Structure formats: C-alpha cells, structure tokens
Structure 1
C-alpha cells in the first residue's frame, strides 16, 4: 500500500535549523537598518522628516509603520543593533510565529504610545522593538510556567536590566521613553496573546 501525502509524518525543525533561520532573519533585519541609515546619511537624514513619527498628526498614523526603520545617526543604529540581534534571536528560537507576534506587538505598541503621548517633534529608532522583545523574554516564562524560560529571563535581567531605566521620563533624557514604554507593553501583550492561543489549542 502506497503512502498518501496525508500519511507522511510531519518533521520537526531541529534547534540548529531554527538557530540558523533566526540568525538569517534577525541579521537581515539589522542589515536593512544599516542600509537605510546609509541612504539616510546621503540624503542628510531627509527620510526622518518624511517617515519619522509625528505625534497626534493624522498622517503620523502611517509613520507608525516606518519610524523604527530610521535612526538619528550611525551610532543610534549601532546602539540598537546588538540587543536586537540577541533578543530577536532568543525570541526566534521559540518559532517564527512567536517571533512575528512579538515584533508586531512591540512595533505597534511603541508607535501607538509615541503617537498618543509623544512630546512632539519627530521620533525615529528601533529601541521600542528592543524594549518589546526584552519585555517579552522577561515575562513569557511566568505566563507559560516554563522554568527554563524563567531562568533565561533572570539571566537577561541581570545582564541587561539596566536598560529598563529608559522607561523613566526623568532618566531617559533625550530618548523617547514613550517608545520604550509602548514597546515593552507590546511585548507583554504578545506574551499574553501567545499564552491564550496555546491554551486554546490544548482544549
């Protein structure tokens, strides 16, 4: 009897293959940020004025989808690149769906916060994504009751917990604490959403 396509067992993705995919996806995104910044530098950062996020403006709503791709200067990109690679890779190790959910919630949360409560001017930068992915990694283990994820969150908090001062307006200085706060809230929301989906699938 010949096997039909439906009889073929699904193959599980190996950790090595997932790690390779994570490095490719996250590395490509960071490379894109550097490429955009090079174009931005050539145009004297004219892109920021067009696609940066302007709070409480009607056309600024669309800028929610573009402002994390832009930065004030090369050092700004560099400051976000390493944590994006580290946090993004760790999130991706839980799967592409988890990664995309965490990124989307962090992206939209960061943009919505800036649009609603930003101080004015133009906001750019991917730091909201950094805070969102970091917050997701910090809380997901507690929602999932997964001791390995909780242990990872403790290690990450010890190593990078100081960045949470960027949520405090009086400490954040010239950076957008609104973007940080919104991104972190989005990361926590992503953990809640993914927990709910997981519980629904088990019913």
Structure 2
C-alpha cells in the first residue's frame, strides 16, 4: 500500500469528513519541498512502519497516527517554531474535518513533543517521541545517510558552526539515561542508537568529513 492509500485509509478510519484528497495534496506538496532531504515522505513512511507494530499500545491511535503524518509538515531550518506551526496546521485540519476539539488538542500536544527538548510524561507522547527518534537506532549505513541528509538541510550553515551545533544536539540524546522512553523501543534500538551517536559525535568533533 502506497502512502496516498495509507492516508486515505487513515482519513476514513478516523471518521474525518470531506474528501481526503485535499489534505493529502497539501501534505505531499509540503513533504516534497526542494529544501528537504530527510524530513520527507520517506521519513513519514518510516514512522508509520514503526507505529504499526505498536499501534495497540496507543491510548489514542488516531491522534498518534495523525501526529505522525503532520509533525514535520512545516519545516524551515531558518526557523525554530516548526513544531508549533505544524501543530497548529494539524489542529486546524482535524477541526475542519470534524474530528473534534479533543482530538485536535491531543494531536497538537503530540506534535509539540517532537521538539524532544523535554521528557514526555504521557504514554502516547512517549510512544510518538520514540517513533520519531527511531532513525537514531538504524543500521550505521542508514544513520550515516540520515546525518548527510540533515547536513543538506542545513547547507546554509558554515561547516565549523554546523559541527559544533550538531554535536551538541546529538550529545543531548546520548546524555539521557535512556534515549527511548518505551520498553519496546529501548529493546529494539537503544544499543545501536548509542553506538551511532557516539560515532557521529567523534566524526563531528574530529573534523572528518
């Protein structure tokens, strides 16, 4: 099933009103913007793949899945409010589709968690955060590709500045007692994520391209 069909299935299962084509066209256009390298539909597809096996663990699976679809809908590396703007967009879409203010609020709250600046307290937020960070625990080859893609998205940043900033970001994850907040993702990705982060930080600080 391709992503468009997955979106249509989600829209119908959620009980959303109106045609699914409009929101899909908007989302696909956003995730296909030329300045994106990692935060594309490929990332959304990966998040959906990670979500499916743990869907039953979500208290509100509709909210979690909608957060997956929308959490990077607005992405501009020159700004620091992308998550907030994406949350507002998702809330508006949910409300416009008749999904109710409660669901809209929950989706927005989940998307705001994707800043990863604070530890999520609510179970669905923990699950969603882990899904978004699943990339950190992929194979060394895929993780290296991810790092190159992030660099592409920040091509406007000078190399020395990027190395400093990126290493600090990766260190915040490595410094956590546990990178992942749910047992399933801890078991699945914690060890490899720490290896990947450690290797990348060494490269960034060592000046190896």
TM range (shorter): 0.3 to 0.5
**What TM-score, normalized to structure 2?**
0.36
More helix by percentage: 1
**What TM-score, normalized to structure 1?**
0.37
Question: Larger RCO: Structure 1 or Structure 2 (Cα < 8 Å, ≥ 6 residues apart)?
Answer: 1
Structure number with bigger Rg: 1
